[in-house]
Amino acid sequence: MSTFSFSWGMRLKATELLTATSAFRGPVDLTIPELADFAADITDNGTNRLKIAVDRQSGVGASNSQDYDLIGSLTDLESTTLNFDLVYFIGLYNLSATYGISIGPKASTTWGVASSNQGFWLDASDRSYVPPSSFLTLYSASGVPASAGSDTFQVITDSGSSANSWHIVIVGRDNA
Per-residue pLDDT tens digits for 40-95: 455 555 555 788 888 999 989 889 999 999 999 998 888 889 999 899 899 999 99
Is pLDDT above 60 for 111?
A: yes
**Per the structure, how many domains does the chain have?**
1
In a domain, 31, yes or no: no
Task: Calculate mean pLDDT across residues 125-142.
Answer: 92
Domain of residue 165, residue span? 42-174
Closest CA to 57 of 163, 141, 176: 163
In a domain, 23, yes or no: no
Q: Domain of 66: which CATH number?
A: 2.60.120.10
In a domain, 58, yes or no: yes
In a domain, 131, yes or no: yes
In a domain, 115, yes or no: yes
Residue 134 amino acid letter: S
pLDDT for the residue 133: 93
In a domain, 19, yes or no: no
CA 44, distance to chain mean position in Å, is 24
In a domain, 29, yes or no: no
pTM, two decimal places: 0.80
In order of 33, 73, 75, 156, the CA distances from 52 in angstroms are 22, 13, 8, 21
In a domain, 7, yes or no: no
CA 165, distance to chain mean position in Å, is 16
- Mean pLDDT, rounded, of the chain: 81
In order of 59, 112, 133, 152, 153, the CA distances from 36 in angstroms are 33, 19, 25, 24, 22
The size of the chain, in residues, is: 176
* Strand positions, DSSP E, 61-176: 65-69, 71-75, 81-94, 101-105, 128-130, 135-145, 152-157, 164-174
SS3 163: coil
Residue 43 amino acid letter: T
